[in-house]
Amino acid sequence: MSRAAHPAAVDVAEQLDYYLVFPNIRARERGLPPEGIVVEEFVLRPDGTTSALDSAGWTVGGTWWSAAAFSRGLRDDARLQARVTPVDRASAQAAYRLLGGGELLPEPELRRHFLDRLDLPAAAPLNLVPTQATAERRIYRVLLAGELPEAGLAVLRSGWRMQPFDRADDAANRIAGRTRRTLDGQTVTWTLRRIGGDLAWAVDLATDRPDDTSAHNLAPLLCRLRTDARSQGLIPVTVERLR
């Protein structure tokens, strides 16, 4: 799912991110076989934010190809998103075998197909809700693309133990859930919200301990939030520190 910008930053995850790519939305909705797969891996900074994205694609009857342009389009183009399904490695392996590719390479070997790196912008993609922005808080945003059906939203709310909250500070009715935890002695909160149009979501995570040690401790949680959202069909775009 992600790898470190340098060995001391973040441990390499056991799994990459896999996507099935269908020729069109009708084929996907009908459960027809995909036409290929795309494999991705975020490059992470020590605090869990993303600096770049590596990727490679494979199409039935062909060879592995650089997927940097595809991965960029996947985050911007709703029509392309409608042709893609996030899956785990086992599902990617099954599709790869079905399409005649044989056994999917081990992940260290798959990484050899990452030829063109997609650099991610360092600037925050969208502004925070003003009431969140205070000088004492460190805030991160996991930006996500795609549709989140009600069933997937219910899974995230339940898994993240999001409690009912007062919507008085949410005039736009964009907040879908909020929760609070204690992590290594620090209090962290995160909010799931719709942003932009209906095909964009974000998880905003905040801590009141803005030191570098606490930031390093948040990296596994940011990875988990990104992974959980992806398991419900959303496509991770970037993880940014907003202040």
pLDDT digits (tens, 9 = 90+) for 180-233: 998 878 889 999 999 876 679 999 999 886 666 566 678 999 999 999 999 999
Report the pLDDT value the prediction gives residue 227, as an integer from 0 to 100: 95
Fold of 130-241: TATA-Binding Protein (3.30.310)
Report the pLDDT value the prediction gives residue 174, as an integer from 0 to 100: 83
Report the pLDDT value the prediction gives residue 11, as an integer from 0 to 100: 41
Q: Summarize the confidence of residues 8-31 as an average pLDDT.
A: 79
User: Over 60: is that where the pLDDT of 80 sits?
Assistant: yes
Q: List, for residues 104-147, the tens digit of each pLDDT value.
A: 999 999 999 999 999 987 654 445 554 555 666 789 999 999 99
Question: Could you tell me the residue ranges of all domains in the chain?
Answer: 2-119, 130-241
The rounded percent of the chain whose pLDDT value lies above 70 is: 80
Amino acid at residue number 19: Y
Report the pLDDT value the prediction gives residue 71, as an integer from 0 to 100: 97
Q: Residue 15 in contact with residue 110, Cβ under 8 Å?
A: no
The model carries a pTM of: 0.86
Quote the mean pLDDT of the chain.
Answer: 85
The rounded percent of the chain whose pLDDT value lies above 90 is: 65
